[in-house]
Amino acid sequence: MQSIRPDNIEQQVRFLSHDLLEGRGTGQRGGDLAAEYIATQFALDGLKPAGDDGSYLQKVPMVGITPGADTRFTLVPAGGQLSDINPLDLKPLDDYVAYDQTQQPESNIDAEIVYVGYGIEAPEYNWDDYKGVDVKGKVLLMLVNQPPSDDPKFFTGKTLTYYGRWVYKYEEAARKGAVGAILIHKTEMASYGWEVVRNSFSGEKSYLKLDGTPKLKAAAWIHLDIARKLASDAGMDLDKMMADATSRDFKPAPLHVRLSAHMTSKVRPFESDNVIAVLPGSDKKLKDEGVLYTAHYDHFGIRPDMPGDNIFNGAMDNATGCGILMEIARVYAGAAQKPHRSIFIVSVTAEEQGLLGSEYLGKHPPIPAGKISLDLNYDNVLPLGSPEEVQVSGAERTTFYPLRCRRLLRISALRFVPTRAPKPDTTIAPITSASRGSAFRLFPSMRG
């Protein structure tokens, strides 16, 4: 078998991170150029196309959503003794951020706000914040993260599970028929400041085109000060509400305050591509199974609103992964002895937009998901010199790990480091009931 040539990887990184590639932005010319280039490399290697209609490209339909300047977000106390409190008009970006996930140019919300603690229903941890309460048509107020614990068997202790992530909380609220979900931002709980929320929830955000998955008219965050004011207007105490949420006995609490919102959005439909090539397996039976090698090719593109050098070249993130991917493709294609299983080489799009290319691939895999034996993903491979130790994050959840990883580690002289307690938003623990969420969660290694 030919060997991997580091020089080749370096040349690919050089090209993909060139200014001419314009930062490989999703929905931008540079991103499309990168996809075409990678597809061309696969073709020159002699790999077979495994995208749409006999091509190397799998079309990923997306929309870009930009909140309109005339969006209004108002907290309106209900009648009775609260009626002397004035409605509170929230200031965009300072007080709240919100996106309309329904991909409509306009939506209206006038709904009661119900506090649902962490907004988590996790039968495997015997935890249910909803307690069967019907939240259809409501706006749910909730905390970020998950109930605090040192017990590895309870929400995996200090490691953040998928349940603690805002993506899950919005998904679960939408599945239960809520029209909106508002996350209370608290720096210590989110592990990042309001500035991060403000920056990552402003301007255009990309979403997969609607595919029948329930969506919220308002997927929002509010500043802690506003949450305090909201609680006190409702005659409640936010600190007590937060403490209550750490108990198994927590029950949803209506706030007797309504959210009155007029959401306007600029909706820009566009398409981007995953690039998929295959080397068919050589074994009659095993060729129906596949091993995936993945790396995202997109980065942040050009930011026209920024002065000076506004190209985000993304040499490390993730021209490196793509360079490795293309070199693996070249070596596999030229190998005298073909692998038993089919080898899929996939470069996904829109990772920086929230793993959208991976999510789409997970929902539309090139072979049935149950036939995928393994996915090895390459992302942001930093030039740090020769590694001495390796952290095989997530691998312990696969059957591949005990069989192969350990053997590889033995022969490679790398020191193995168990998964460290991570930053809360960077580690994903197993979802024991995979059917509860998006299909891409079935492939934990695609994340990141």
Binding residues among 248-287 for Zn ion as defined by CB under 5 A: none
- Is residue 298 at the binding interface for Zn ion, with CB under 5 A as the rule? no
Give the binding range for Zn ion (CB under 5 A) out of 1-9, 20-28, 234-242, 379-387. Answer: 379-387
The 3-state DSSP class for residue 278 equals: strand
Which of 318, 358, 377, 438: binder of Zn ion (CB under 5 A)? 318
DSSP 157-200: TTS--GGGSHHHHHHHHHHTT-SEEEEEP-HHHHSS-HHHHHHH
Strands 389-391 and 48-49: unpaired
Q: Indicate the residue among 96 and 312 with the shorter CB distance to Zn ion.
A: 312
Taking the complex as a whole, the smallest distance from the CB of residue 26 to Zn ion amounts, in Å, to: 12
The number of residues that bind Zn ion (CB under 5 A) is 4
Cβ neighbours for 116, distance < 8 A, ≥ 6 positions apart: 129, 130, 135, 140, 141, 142, 173, 252
Q: Indicate the residue among 317 and 359 with the shorter CB distance to Zn ion.
A: 317
Q: Indicate the residue among 169 and 299 with the shorter CB distance to Zn ion.
A: 299
Taking the complex as a whole, the smallest distance from the CB of residue 5 to Zn ion amounts, in Å, to: 23
Q: Indicate the residue among 101 and 318 with the shorter CB distance to Zn ion.
A: 318
Which of 32, 171, 298, 317: binder of Zn ion (CB under 5 A)? 317
DSSP 64-100: EEEE-TT-EEEEEE-SGGGGGSPPEEPPBTTTEEEE-
How far is Cα 384 from Cα 377, in angstroms, rounded to an integer? 19
How far is Cα 181 from Cα 185, in angstroms, rounded to an integer? 13
Cβ neighbours for 445, distance < 8 A, ≥ 6 positions apart: 294, 375, 376, 377, 394
Terminal C-alpha separation, the chain: 30
Which of 379, 392, 398, 445: binder of Zn ion (CB under 5 A)? 379
Q: Indicate the residue among 347 and 398 with the shorter CB distance to Zn ion.
A: 347
Taking the complex as a whole, the smallest distance from the CB of residue 428 to Zn ion amounts, in Å, to: 15
Q: Indicate the residue among 117 and 321 with the shorter CB distance to Zn ion.
A: 321
Taking the complex as a whole, the smallest distance from the CB of residue 349 to Zn ion amounts, in Å, to: 12
Q: Indicate the residue among 64 and 314 with the shorter CB distance to Zn ion.
A: 314
Contact set with Zn ion (CB under 5 A): 317-318, 379-380
